[in-house]
């Protein structure tokens, strides 16, 4: 079997705070093969953001090992982790995180400033990435604050793609988008998967997770076992039927972030881009 | 991160905060203005004085020698010239004040200078009309004279067409004018001098030795060591010892005069340095404050850059360069305002001084001054930008991305 893109073994992440030690992750073992589209689902406080930070090499496990592309990154120095991020990883954030004063083109090129890519190649790569996310050429020299939410997220995905990393990490990428734009973003991920990219998506939303090849559930810092998962799915389904009885509208708009079940704070594209 | 990318990022960051950046660099602008105005004025005064003293002949060494209290004579110079090979020639002058008349006009107390033919070469004199003395005229005590333009104006009026060929009297002798000297810098105040051949002066006007000897150094000679060598040569030539050596031989070069000038400028320089120093420190603190604000405002951007692969050093460099660039912009304005300020002060100062000394001060900004100012700016940018830049580089990317 080929080397998996992600392989974690018994990863713990314990925070030290005034209240003592808080374990955010408690023995996560997860393997993601190349070309898989994986959704990690869990409510807020489940540890999914912590897991995302560790998978994204922004944080290190307290114990346990994390192999990215077969390389153990659990104990790398800050600078080495930065190098791993610039060559192996693409991030897509819920709040987009584009630089508002810079053009679309410059935003997409940004990761290449920190990578060994030849400066003469940058523009070409950015054009490729923007084509891959279907952003019309007329927007390329616009300021990122002149775009709609869906366009902004496509720019952000283009930025994640520009260094051609094998792994894309998306943290609630549709959290600030309406249903139609959210779907468009998910379709973009499917296309990338078809091009042998590995995509890991973090969400609290079952409808979004349904786009993925596989979904793992995280609760209290642990991945659910197959049985726990089956029980959980049944419970959710019952809840959904009850909700559908109460209000058809709510159930139908499960992807819509403005729904009452959405725990994530909502920032409009304008505020979010006020970085 | 490449330098060009860094510069582009810096430029766009400063442009995004134009108004705040401009206000912040005010302290730097004032400080650098003070530095520039100070050095420009001091250099200007220096040049003006050098021009005023007629010492733009940088090869001139002034020798005052009274071995055992007696002045040197012309014949001594010819002897000394043989031993002092560092000089192209030595030339001596003797002077006194005398009454000069043309028949219509009589002037008392005109400084009358007995000079040799080479005196005008040594001084780099320019003739408005006519010529200097020939060697023969000096050797044969000819009754010829050179007048300064100021004296010519007084004797024959400003409108006189030609002065060469006219005659004037000193005592019972009639001299024929052979040349008119341009006044230094075109100023006429207090510049009424009559020149006659040295031998004529000594035989007919005042019989005394040489007041002043000028040595005209060979091209490329180092004036400092030349001064030392000249002194020790004279000391041993006249067998002077101890106090006599210092009392009877005094050597001055243009360089030593400028050094003297520098020390008299010291007080002014100290004051301006204090002003500059204080405003530069205040300016630096302003820069630091702005950079800290910048870092706080851009925490999420820093988090993003780190997530995208920026290393600590990339972030440090980005913010350091930003503060250095701010300071340099301040420096550019400072150099500009400093130069303008120096002009204003010079115009004001010249007005006050001219009446007494006939001096025009032109501020001088040299490349080394500009380099110094730029160096100071870079230094301030680095020193006061380091703290904020370090803070930015040490931010935890996870925390920074979550920052609202």
Give A-chain residues touching B1 at CB under 8 angstroms.
Answer: 113-114
Beta carbons of B201 and B114 less than 8 angstroms apart: yes
Residue-level pLDDT at B82: 87
Does residue B360 carry a pLDDT above 80? no
How high is the pLDDT of residue A270? 35
Pairing state between β A167-171 and B144-148: unpaired
pLDDT average, residue stretch A261-270: 38
* CATH classification at residue A109: 3.40.50.300
User: Across all residues in chain A, what is the average pLDDT?
Assistant: 84
In a domain, A124, yes or no: yes
Residue-wise pLDDT tens digits, B61-83: 888 888 877 888 888 888 888 88
Question: Do the chains contact at A114 and B397, CB–CB below 8 Å?
Answer: no
Backbone angles phi, psi at B131, to 5 degrees: -150, 180
Which residue does chain A place closest to B310, by CA atoms? A114
Share above pLDDT 90 across residues of chain B, in percent, rounded to a whole number = 35
In a domain, A89, yes or no: yes
* Candidates B1, B307, B309; nearest CB to A83: B309
- Quick check: is A262 in a domain? no
Does the pLDDT at position A84 exceed 90? Answer: yes
Q: Where are the alpha helices (DSSP H) in A110-178?
A: 119-132, 149-161
pLDDT tens digit string along B200-238?
999 999 888 888 898 888 877 787 788 888 888 888 888
DSSP B260-307: HHHHHTHHHHHHHHHHHHHHHHHHHHHHHHHHHHHHHHTHHHHHHHHH
Assess if residue A1 is contained within a domain: no
Q: Are residues B304 and A97, on separate chains, in Cβ contact within 8 Å? A: yes
Q: Are A68 and A52 in contact (CB under 8 A)?
A: no
- How crowded is residue A33: how many other Cβ atoms within 10 Å of its Cβ? 16
Residue of A nearest to B16 (CA): A101
Question: Angle formed by the axes of helices A149-161 and A119-132, to 10°?
Answer: 130
Q: Is the pLDDT of residue B345 over 50?
A: yes
Is residue A8 within 8 A of residue A74, CB to CB? The reply is: no
Residues of A in contact with B9 (CB under 8 A): 113
Q: Which of B1, B307, B310 sits opposite A58 (nearest CB)?
A: B307
How many angstroms separate the CA atoms of A75 and A17, rounded?
22
pLDDT of residue A18: 85
In the structure encoding, which two tokens stand for residue B257, read together? 């005069």
Which residue in the set B12, B300, B314 is minimally distant from A114, CB to CB? B314
CB nearest to B309's CB, from A85, A119, A275: A85
Contacts of B395 in chain A (CB under 8 A): none
Cα of B398 to nearest chain A Cα, Å: 6
Report in angstroms the alpha-carbon separations of A115 from A88, A162, B298: 11, 11, 22
In a domain, A60, yes or no: no
Q: Which domain holds residue A214?
A: 35-48+78-233
pLDDT at B50: 65
pLDDT value of position A159: 94
Asked if residues A6 and A55 have their Cβ atoms less than 8 Å apart, the reply is yes
For residue A260, pLDDT beyond 50: no
Strands B106-115 and B167-170: unpaired
pLDDT recorded at residue A180: 86
3-state SS class at A198: strand
Whether this prediction's pTM lies above 0.80 is answered by no
Asked if the structure places residue A179 within a domain, the reply is: yes
pLDDT higher than threshold 80 for residue A236: no
Alpha helices (H) in B107-213, listed in sequence order: 119-123, 135-139, 149-156, 198-200
Determine the number of helices (DSSP H) and then strands (DSSP E) in chain B.
16, 10
In a domain, A268, yes or no: no
Residues of A in contact with B306 (CB under 8 A): 58, 82, 85
Separation of alpha carbons A157 and B309, rounded Å? 16
Domain total in chain A: 1
Count of A-B CB contacts under 8 Å: 65
This complex has an ipTM of 0.82
Under DSSP, is residue B8 helix (H, G, I), strand (E, B) or coil? helix
Q: What is the pLDDT of residues B105-126, one digit of tens each?
A: 899 988 899 999 998 888 878 8
CA distance A124 to chain B (A): 17
Most confident of A224-238, A248-262, B75-89, B279-293: B279-293
Helix A149-161, helix A179-194: angle, nearest 10: 20
B311/A97 CB distance under 8 A: no
Q: How far is it, in rounded angstroms, from Cα A29 to Cα B358?
A: 92
> Contact at 8 Å (CB) between B140 and B232?
no
Query: Which of A58, A91, A113 has the CB atom closest to B1's CB atom?
Result: A113
Nearest chain B residue (CA) to A50: B398
Note whether residue A189 is domain-resident: yes
pLDDT digits (tens, 9 = 90+) for B156-174: 888 878 889 999 999 889 9
Euclidean distance between CA atoms B148 and B187, whole angstroms? 11
**Which has the higher per-residue pLDDT, B222 or B176?**
B176
> CA dihedral defined by A168, A84, A97, A51, rounded to 10 degrees?
60
CA-CA distance, A167 to A161, in Å (whole number)?
A: 9
B191 contacts B75 by C-beta, under 8 angstroms: no
- Position B363 scores a pLDDT of 83
The answer to whether the Cβ–Cβ distance between A114 and B301 falls below 8 Å is no
């Amino acid at each position: 079997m080929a080397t998996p893109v992600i392989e974690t073994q018994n990863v713990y992440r314990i925070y030290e705070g005034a209240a003592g030690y808080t374990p955010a992750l408690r023995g996560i073992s997860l393997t993601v093969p190349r070309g898989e589209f994986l959704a990690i689902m869990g409510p807020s406080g489940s540890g999914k953001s912590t897991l995302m930070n560790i998978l994204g090499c922004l944080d290190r496990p307290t114990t346990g090992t994390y192999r990215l592309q077969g390389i153990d990154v659990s104990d790398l120095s800050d600078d080495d982790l930065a190098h791993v991020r610039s060559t192996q990883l693409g991030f897509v954030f819920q709040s987009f995180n584009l630089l508002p004063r810079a053009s679309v083109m410059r935003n997409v090129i940004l990761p290449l400033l920190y990578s060994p890519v030849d400066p003469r190649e940058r523009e070409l790569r950015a054009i490729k990435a923007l084509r891959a996310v279907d952003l019309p050429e007329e927007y390329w020299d616009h300021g990122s604050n002149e775009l709609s939410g869906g366009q902004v997220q496509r720019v952000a995905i283009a930025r994640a793609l520009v260094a051609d990393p094998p792994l894309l990490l998306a943290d609630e990428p549709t959290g600030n988008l309406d249903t139609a734009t959210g779907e468009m973003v998910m379709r973009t991920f499917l296309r990338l998967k078809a091009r042998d990219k590995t995509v890991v998506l973090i969400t609290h939303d079952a409808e979004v997770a349904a786009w993925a090849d596989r979904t793992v559930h995280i609760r209290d810092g642990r991945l659910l076992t197959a049985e726990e998962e089956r029980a959980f799915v049944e419970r959710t389904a019952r809840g959904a039927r009850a909700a559908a009885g109460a209000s058809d509208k709510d159930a139908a708009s499960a992807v819509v972030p403005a729904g009452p079940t959405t725990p994530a704070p909502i920032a409009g594209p304008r505020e979010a881009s006020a970085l | 991160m490449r330098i060009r990318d860094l510069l582009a990022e810096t430029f766009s960051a400063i442009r995004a905060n134009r108004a705040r950046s401009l206000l912040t660099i005010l302290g730097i602008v004032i400080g650098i203005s003070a530095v520039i105005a100070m050095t420009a004025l001091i250099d200007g005064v220096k040049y003006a004085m050098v021009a005023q003293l007629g010492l733009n002949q940088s090869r001139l060494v002034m020798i005052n020698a009274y071995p055992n209290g007696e002045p040197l004579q012309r014949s001594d110079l010819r002897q000394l010239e043989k031993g002092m090979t560092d000089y192209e020639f030595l030339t001596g002058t003797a002077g006194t004040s005398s009454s000069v008349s043309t028949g219509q006009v009589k002037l008392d107390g005109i400084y009358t200078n007995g000079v040799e033919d080479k005196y005008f070469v040594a001084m780099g004199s320019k003739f408005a009309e006519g010529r200097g003395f020939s060697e023969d005229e000096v050797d044969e005590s000819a009754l010829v004279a050179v007048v300064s333009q100021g004296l010519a104006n007084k004797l024959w009026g400003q409108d006189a067409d030609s002065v060469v060929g006219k005659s004037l009297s000193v005592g019972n002798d009639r001299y024929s004018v052979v040349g008119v000297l341009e006044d230094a810098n075109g100023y006429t105040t207090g510049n009424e001098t009559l020149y006659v051949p040295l031998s004529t002066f000594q035989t007919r006007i005042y019989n005394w030795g040489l007041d002043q000897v000028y040595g005209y150094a060979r091209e490329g000679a180092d004036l400092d060591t030349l001064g030392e060598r000249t002194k020790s040569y004279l000391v041993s030539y006249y067998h002077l010892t101890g106090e006599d050596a210092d009392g009877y031989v005094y050597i001055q070069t243009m360089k030593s005069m400028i050094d003297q000038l520098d020390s008299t400028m010291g007080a002014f320089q100290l004051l301006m340095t204090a002003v500059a120093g204080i405003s530069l420190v205040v300016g630096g603190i302003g820069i630091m404050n702005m950079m800290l604000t910048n870092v706080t405002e851009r925490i999420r951007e820093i988090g993003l850059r780190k997530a995208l692969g920026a290393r600590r050093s990339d972030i440090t460099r980005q913010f350091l360069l930003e503060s250095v660039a701010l300071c340099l912009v301040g420096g550019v304005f400072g150099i500009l305002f400093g130069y303008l300020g120096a002009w204003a002060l010079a115009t004001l100062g010249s007005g006050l001084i001219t009446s007494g000394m006939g001096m025009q001060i032109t501020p001088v900004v040299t490349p080394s001054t500009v380099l110094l100012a730029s160096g100071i700016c870079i230094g301030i940018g680095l020193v006061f930008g380091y703290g904020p830049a370090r803070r930015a580089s040490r931010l935890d990317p996870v925390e920074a991305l979550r920052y609202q």
